[in-house]
Amino acid sequence: MTMYRQHLERISRAVQKVSTRPAASSYIWGGRRSPLAFAVFHLFFLMRLLSPLQWVKYSVRRRNTAKPPTTNQRPDFPAAYTEWYFIVILVVAGTAYLVRHAANPHPPVLLAWLLSAVGWLLITECVVWVMYYLMLRAFVERYYTIFHPAEYVLTFPLLLTIQLLLVSDVTGRGITDLLQAFIGNPEAGDRFGTTLAVFGLAYLGVAITVVLSSHPGIDTRTAQTVSIIGAGDVTLNRILPALKTLGYERSSITISSIEDPETANARAAIGDDAQLHVTSPDKVLATALREHAPTIIASPTFAHFTQLVALATAGVPFAVEKPIASGRPERTVLRTEGAQLMARGFALSYYSLEKALPLTYFLQPLPVYSRFLAASEPGLLGGAALHALREELGQVRSANIDLLEGASRSPASYGRLWTEVPGTLNPFIETTIHPLLLLRHITGAGPIAWTGCALGRHAPRAAQVRAEYGQEIAPTWLEATAHHGTIELRMRVAKHVPSSLAQRRAVITYANGSVTADFDTRRVDFEVNGQNRGWIAIDTGRDAGRYQQNYAVLVSLFMEFAINGWGAVRFDDFERQLDALDHWDDLCELVDQHQPPVTEYTTESLTTSVPRLVHLGTTATPPQRRSGTTPSTPRLPNR
């Protein structure tokens, strides 16, 4: 009895490996056994025992027991083996069909009966394979398959062809008659044809199921049109020319703007380069929301948050100009809800993602940046040389950033007035955001401690704004010092400086060398122990110099994101910009508290009236923002 039981257990284990018995959970629902599910699933379990393919699988797996399983609890049987098995069956069935029609053989009765039995067995196997693998397996073995989703779509027509040939071989009927019956048009009174018609309907359902469940579908590509909110200086002189350089035509660019004193000038400047819609503030988003096209928010800072929330809610891919939000409460929302609000959003940063992109790549070598860059040697773009260079330089000791701009880059009309009022330090963030972001790239996360500050105001521009608009402008000169741990930091940002002093660059000093970034040439040079170690720069020689145009790199990065989404990592400056804006608020609060003098200067007198650096004591009480002292602000224009 014991030996008999052992034989039964051995046979049971073998049977279970040939055709997996359905799990009880597939037919016991709510504590009750479903008679239909139990009968159907076990019927297919038994019928699969008759499949030669299942016994081939069993044999292969027995030989591969020494091999560790992959994602299965049993040795894998590659999909290629199944395909070759059915290809062999197709060749045999096709050969038998051709021989029968060419020679009309009359084999002995016993052989004919044997061939017919084999044919019906293979037909049954094909039917069971189709109904089980393409319909029922998901109910009983959801996680067993290692097939690629396309496998079922490709194998299904193969099995249909095999079955037609085999049925023709065992019944003697022609392929045309079988197809006519299979598609639901059998001859009257033909029971076999009617049976084929029923199978045809069942197989139609299988085909639909296979397509719906296996086909990955095609994602709708983001529209190749671009919507811009705001028709100010940034749009006219940077974004629009960049889009034209990248090949966008008038019909692909829509600019929405509110009516303001600059609109007439904007309409003339835009000309035939884009479509301009002038509308009320409450409808400025209408075009972007209707077209669902990638949208660039180039409106004044105070409008950014409301507009990005509206676009994010509608699922529209968007980019938002710096600074992303003006107040701490808005940034708090962006920090806590940023994963949702900025999932389809791109934080633009003209310096760190274009003019200083070589430096950004050196500090954060993401592959998406490298396609815009050239280097003195290939290894500096992702090779071992770049890693070795960083190791040789050692620890950061200090960082100095200068953004000193002359008259041509300084506000001179109403169009940039909103970047200068009210007369506190806060509006200067429009320019200081650039060095702040670069400092954040250099130092990494964590607070910085401001230690000194000097402020100046360009007297002629201040007098002009005071006379025409009755407003006091913000400081136009700022020098600030700070430290982040042991790293000493200094930034100088100024407007209306003499051409002899104008410069835009950063110098980072390391333990064993230095890195110098020239923002005008968009190049960074490396020096280690007094030796020049090469350079990285924007590749202006590629594509006929298309990246020489300002904003071309930045807009290209945004469109890359808008079309393909984020990959494994964000490549904008979203989180770093939030940190940089927090650093700026800290500095503004200290300035409010310590009230450093604001030195007036002219372009000619700046060299003799450089503002004096005032120490910002670290022992002072935490700065508190003053209320009720901010001058009223005029209606502000687009960027």
Pairing state between β 523-528 and 513-518 = antiparallel
Mean predicted confidence (pLDDT) in 380-396 = 88
Asked if residue 633 has pLDDT above 60, the reply is: no
At residue 528, φ and ψ (nearest 5 deg) are -125, 120
Q: What pLDDT score was predicted for residue 270?
A: 83
Closest CA to 491 of 427, 431, 435: 435
Residue 69 has pLDDT above 70, yes or no: no
Res 486: pLDDT: 94
- CA atoms of 493 and 461, how far apart (whole Å): 16
Of 338, 342, 283, 335, the closest CA to residue 311 belongs to 342
Give mean pLDDT, residues 180-203: 86
Which of the residue ranges 263-267, 376-380, 625-629 would you say has the lowest mean pLDDT?
625-629
What are the backbone dihedrals phi and psi of residue 190, each rounded to the nearest 5 degrees, phi first?
A: -90, 100
From the number of C-beta atoms within 10 Å of its C-beta (0-12, 13-18, 19+), residue 399 rates as: buried
DSSP-derived secondary structure letter, 597 = -
What pLDDT sits at residue 634?
A: 36
Least confident of 174-178, 418-422, 457-461: 418-422
- Span of 165-174, 210-219, 422-431 with lowest mean pLDDT: 210-219
pLDDT at 109 over 80: no
What average pLDDT does the segment 324-340 reach?
89
Q: What is the pTM of this model?
A: 0.68
What pLDDT was estimated at residue 456?
92
Q: What is the pLDDT of residues 433-477, one digit of tens each?
A: 999 999 999 999 998 999 999 999 999 999 998 888 888 988 999
Q: What is the pLDDT of residues 156-173, one digit of tens each?
A: 888 889 988 888 888 888
User: Would you say residue 617 has pLDDT above 80?
Assistant: no
What's the confidence (pLDDT) of residue 415?
62
pLDDT score of 626: 36
Q: How large a percentage of the chain has pLDDT more than 70?
A: 89
Among 246, 322, 406, smallest CA distance to 639 is for 322
CA atoms within 13 A on the CB side of 599: 21
| DSSP alpha helix (H) spans, 348-472 | 357-363, 367-370, 384-393, 429-443, 459-469
Cα 442 to Cα 29, 265, 505, 525, distances in angstroms: 60, 40, 14, 16
Query: What is the mean predicted confidence (pLDDT) over 309-318?
Result: 92
Beta carbons within 8 Å of 7's beta carbon, 6+ residues apart: none
Which range has highest mean pLDDT (96-105, 164-173, 273-282)?
Answer: 164-173
Query: With contact defined as beta carbons under 8 Å apart, do 478 and 425 qualify?
Result: yes
Q: Which of 169-183, 475-489, 614-628 has the lowest mean pLDDT?
A: 614-628
Question: What is the reported pLDDT for 80?
Answer: 84
What are residue 215's phi and psi, to 5 degrees? -75, 125
| pLDDT of the residue at 343 | 92
Q: Could you read off the pLDDT of 215-269 as tens digits, one per residue?
A: 776 665 555 788 999 888 888 889 998 988 888 888 888 888 887 766 777 777 7
Tell whether the model's pLDDT for residue 402 goes beyond 90: yes
pLDDT greater than 60 at residue 183: yes
The pLDDT of residue 190? 84
Q: What are the DSSP calls for 310-343, one per residue?
A: HHHHHT--EEEPSSS-SSHHHHHHHHHHHHHHTT
| Surface-to-core class of residue 194, CB atoms within 10 Å of its CB (0-12 exposed, 13-18 middle, 19+ buried) | middle
If you average pLDDT over every residue of the chain, what do you get?
84
Tell me phi and psi for residue 415, to 5 degrees.
-60, -30
Strand, coil or helix: what is 461?
helix
pLDDT tens digits, 483-517: 999 999 999 999 988 888 889 999 999 999 999 99
Q: Is the pLDDT of residue 146 over 70?
A: no
Helix pair 79-103, 52-63: axis angle to 10 deg: 140
> What pLDDT score does 423 carry?
83
> Among residues of the chain, what percentage have pLDDT more than 90?
32
Residue with more model confidence, 12 or 143: 12
Asked if residue 481 has pLDDT above 60, the reply is yes
3-state SS, residue 479: strand
Predicted local distance difference test score (pLDDT) of residue 630: 36
What confidence score (pLDDT) does residue 619 get? 41
Residue 104 predicted with pLDDT over 80: no
* Spatial separation of the C-alpha atoms in residues 51 and 466, rounded to whole Å: 92
- CA 252, CA 224: separation in Å to the nearest integer? 7
Q: Mean pLDDT throughout 70-90?
A: 77
For residues 73-99, give the mean pLDDT: 83
User: Which strands form 226-229's sheet, in the order they lie side by side?
Assistant: 275-279, 253-258, 226-229, 295-297, 318-320, 345-347
What single-letter DSSP state applies at residue 407? Answer: G
Specify the higher pLDDT residue, 623 or 590.
Answer: 590
Residue 1 pLDDT:
53
* Residue 301: pLDDT band with limits 50, 70, 90: confident
* Stretch 296-312: mean pLDDT: 91
